[in-house]
Structure 1
Amino acid sequence: MGLHGKLVASIEFNAGGDVFHELLRYKPHQISTICPEIVKGCDLHEGEFSHVGSIICWNYIHYGKAKKIKEVIQLIDEEKRLIQFKVIEGDLMELYKDFVITIHIEKNSGIDLVTTTFEYEMLNENVEHPISNLSLVIDIIKAIETRHLAQP
């Protein structure tokens, strides 16, 4: 079994891809008010939310347990509406040697898709692929979409 992996999910986002990108880039701390059952907090530890090199800490619930992740923004591409985070501390680092999360907005036949990519290296062969973590991100995306579609 290989220790490197890549998971990709593209989810239709009917509230407009720009809405999602702007929220994630400039106001990620608001995600905890949109889906408080999953995201408990988002704190800026260094820099500014919208800048490469900034460090963000997320508190979230996974399988009923409180978890934490600290990540650095390593790439922002406005043209592709892409943000890439490298996990540097937290619960995921107990299982993975490297973990990079890329989120970008694509258009496919006039439909906005939020595409999330996990690229990772497991610490050993006994570690599971982070499919449940990707499912959690999908739940967050859908909660953001529902919230924005409900606004007048």
Structure 2
Amino acid sequence: MGLIGKLICQTSIKTDGDVFHEIFGSRPHHVQTMTPENVQGCDLHEGEFGKAGSIVIWKYSIDGKQMVAKERVESIDEEEKQVTFKVIEGDVLESFKIFVMSIHVDTSGLDHFVTWSFDYEKLDESVKDPTEYLDLVLRVTKDIETHHLPK
């Protein structure tokens, strides 16, 4: 069993993929209003929203436990509709040496897909794969989708 791993999940959404990309690329601080049970905050620490190199602090919950992650926006690719964040401080780094997550939105015709990927390096062999983070981002994705569906 290796210390370096990658987890990927993809889900279809019924809402516009461009809007979904815009939220994570330019307006991540709006996520908390769409999924308050999962994300309680996204504050700008350095830089500006929508710019690579900016640093944001996420406050989120997993299994009822309040957690924090300070992340650097590594890249925002408008053409590919992909945003990549690297955790530089926070709870996840208690178990992982490296934790990078990407969100990619694929829109082809009427079909829209959101793909989340996590690249990570565990601190040691006893650390389990971060599947609870996949569960979290899938809940967040579905809540954002529901928020944007016509009422």
Which TM-score band (shorter chain)?
A: over 0.9
The match for 1:97 is 97
CA RMSD of aligned residues (A): 1.1
5+ residue gaps, structure 2, are none
CA deviations over 1:70-114 (Å, ceiling 9, x no partner): 100111111100111111000000000001101111135741101
Q: 1:7 Cα shift?
A: 0.5
CA distance in 2 between partners of 1:98 and 1:108 (Å): 32
Aligned identity (percent) is 47
CA deviations over 1:31-66 (Å, ceiling 9, x no partner): 111111111111000001100100000001111110
TM-score, length-scaled by structure 2: 0.96
CA distance in 1 between partners of 2:76 and 2:130 (Å): 24
Q: 1:13 Cα shift?
A: 1.3
CA distance in 2 between partners of 1:27 and 1:9 (Å): 22
**Equivalent runs, 1:103-114 vs 2, <5 Å:** 103-107=103-107, 110-114=110-114
What's the secondary structure of 1:141's corresponding residue?
helix
TM-score, length-scaled by structure 1: 0.96
5+ residue gaps, structure 1, are none
The match for 2:122 is 122
